[in-house]
Amino acid sequence: MNLEQVPMVSTLLRAARDANELLLKEALRDILINGVTKEDLNSTDKSGRTAISYICSTNLVHFLDIFLQLPGIDINKSDNEGNTPLHFAAQAGQVDVVNMLLSRSRSIVVDAKNNLGFTPLMKAALQGRTKCAKLLLFAGASPVETDAGRGMRPEQWAKFCGRYSCAEMIEKCARSRLLEKTSSCKWSNDSLALDKPAVSRSRTNPSQQQSGGIRSKFRKVFPFTLPFRDKQFKEDQQTEIVQYLSAAALCASGPVVLPANGNSKIIKSIIRPLEVPKLEVTLANNMSLIKKYENSSFSEDTESIESSHRGKK
């Protein structure tokens, strides 16, 4: 389009590029009175930028509000390098503009990539625009997208440029989003399990369910069967339990661990009998026991004296 033939469009582009509020008011008044076509409204200059693209780079929020109400406005139109108005707003750190674009425009593409593969979140991370990056993440921007050149994520670009606070915020948001996904998957699996009809459970008694659960847990630890219904264990089963426990006790005392069903003779030859010292509790006034110990100590003293005299001779 030849902009010289449409003076209103050239005035709008020039006013938006220079952030001239007086010219913008005149151009918008002309548009509201005479109307404008979709092609003229989204017309570009030599760099491929539209009027709304220039406005998003500045803090002219009230003019942006008017532009978003115009029918036929293309909020995702990119320039010659592939940058959309959201790219310019995020890069410039215009928090109010980014908020208005994300909240007012339903057709906006949050993760639009330019010719180098940079998203608006990457542009905000490069410049350390933490608030803009947070708004983009809340709007659904992906923190795991990578560029086409180095293949780096937004937080990696923030660290590369020294924007450590912005990188930390993006990492925290990425972790929380990952936790939400895993928790949602867990809840969905639980809900699917709860939705299944429990036909077999209704036919069994709760006492049988409890005994079966204890039995299954016991079998995981001990590789033998136990008659839970009987009141007393049999002798062979008792010896089997003792052999298993004694073989397992060898882990702390020796390098060899025998299986539970091993040969009993080998187990008896390796395992030493456990000797427990006997304790004798007596009363304080037990005179008979006191005389006994006195006689034994007296005899030992006399024997030691006699042996010493013999040695001197």
Residue 121's pLDDT is 96
Residue 55's pLDDT is 94
Residue 110's pLDDT is 95
Q: Which domains does the chain have, with CATH numbers?
A: 1-109 (1.25.40.20), 111-182 (1.25.40.20)
Single-letter code of the amino acid located at 275: E
Residue 195, both tokens: 């939705």
- Rg of the chain on CA atoms, in Å: 44
Of the candidates 226, 213, 225, 271, the residue with the CA atom closest to the CA atom of residue 245: 271
Sign of the CA dihedral with 12 first, then 14, 15, and 19 last: positive
Residue 216's pLDDT is 66
Residue 4's pLDDT is 42
Residue 298's pLDDT is 58
pLDDT block averages, 10 residues each, the chain of length 313: 55 89 89 86 91 92 91 93 96 95 92 96 96 94 93 94 94 85 56 44 46 59 51 54 58 47 51 54 65 65 62 56
Residue 220 host element (H or E): helix 206-221
Q: Name every residue whose Cβ is closer than 8 Å to that of residue 50 and which is 6 or more positions away in sequence.
A: 13, 42, 43, 44, 74, 77, 85
Q: Name every residue whose Cβ is closer than 8 Å to that of residue 92 and which is 6 or more positions away in sequence.
A: 56, 57, 58, 127, 129
- The pTM score is 0.57
- Alpha carbon distances (Å) from 306 to 269, 294, 296, 302, 311: 45, 18, 16, 6, 9
d(CA 248, CA 269): 15
